Amino acid sequence: MPQKITKSVKSMVEAAKREIEEIEAADAVKLAGRPDVVLVDLRDPRELERDGKVPGAFRMTRGMLEFWIDPESPYFKPIFSEDKKFVFFCAGGLRSALAAKTAQDMGLKPVAHVLGGFKAWKEAGGPTEPGEAKKSHGKT
């Protein structure tokens, strides 16, 4: 019998967006470099290599979010105990909406996410740096 998915990712993102702060990319660009803000890049390493990075952003994969935020986890990252605003972004704004909602539900605050993600960040003139291409391990 085939699986019957009862909750779509679209409905999950829409529900998350009703409960979190959303920041326009142009406003997020203005937050870059502020000592009271941490920009959190949720994109995976392949995306970073291919598309580039936001200078100074804290990078993590979406899959480690809960483990890095929870101080009881062996994977906890101390940056998440700092008294700062955490602004999540991904490539297009879907994963970051879910991440911000999860982080907020865990008690991290204040949190927000960037509407349109890294794509919107670039379109708003946000600073970027090139990704690091993988080094070839083959013989030349």
Would you state the torsion angle of the CA atoms of residues 65, 66, 71, 77, taken in this order, to the nearest 10 degrees?
-10
Evaluate whether residue 8 is within a structural domain: no
The count of residues in the chain is 140
pLDDT score, position 35: 97
Assign residue 78 the CATH number of its domain.
3.40.250.10
State the total domains in the chain.
1
pLDDT score, position 134: 58
For 126-139, write each residue's pLDDT tens digit.
Answer: 999 998 765 545 54
Domain ranges, residue 114? 15-123
Q: pLDDT below 50 — which residues of the chain?
A: 136, 139-140
- Taking the CB of residue 94, how many other CB atoms lie within 10 A of it? 17
Q: How far apart are CA 56 and CA 48, in angstroms?
A: 13
pLDDT score, position 136: 47
Evaluate whether residue 129 is within a structural domain: no
For 44-61, write each residue's pLDDT tens digit.
Answer: 999 999 999 999 999 999
Q: Which letter does DSSP use for residue 53 in this model? A: B
Q: How far apart are CA 77 and CA 24, in angstroms?
A: 27
Evaluate whether residue 138 is within a structural domain: no
Evaluate whether residue 134 is within a structural domain: no
pLDDT score, position 95: 97
Let me know: does 124 contact 30? Beta carbons within 8 Å: no
pLDDT score, position 20: 98
| DSSP tally for the chain: helices H, then strands E | 6, 5
Let me know: does 100 contact 113? Beta carbons within 8 Å: yes
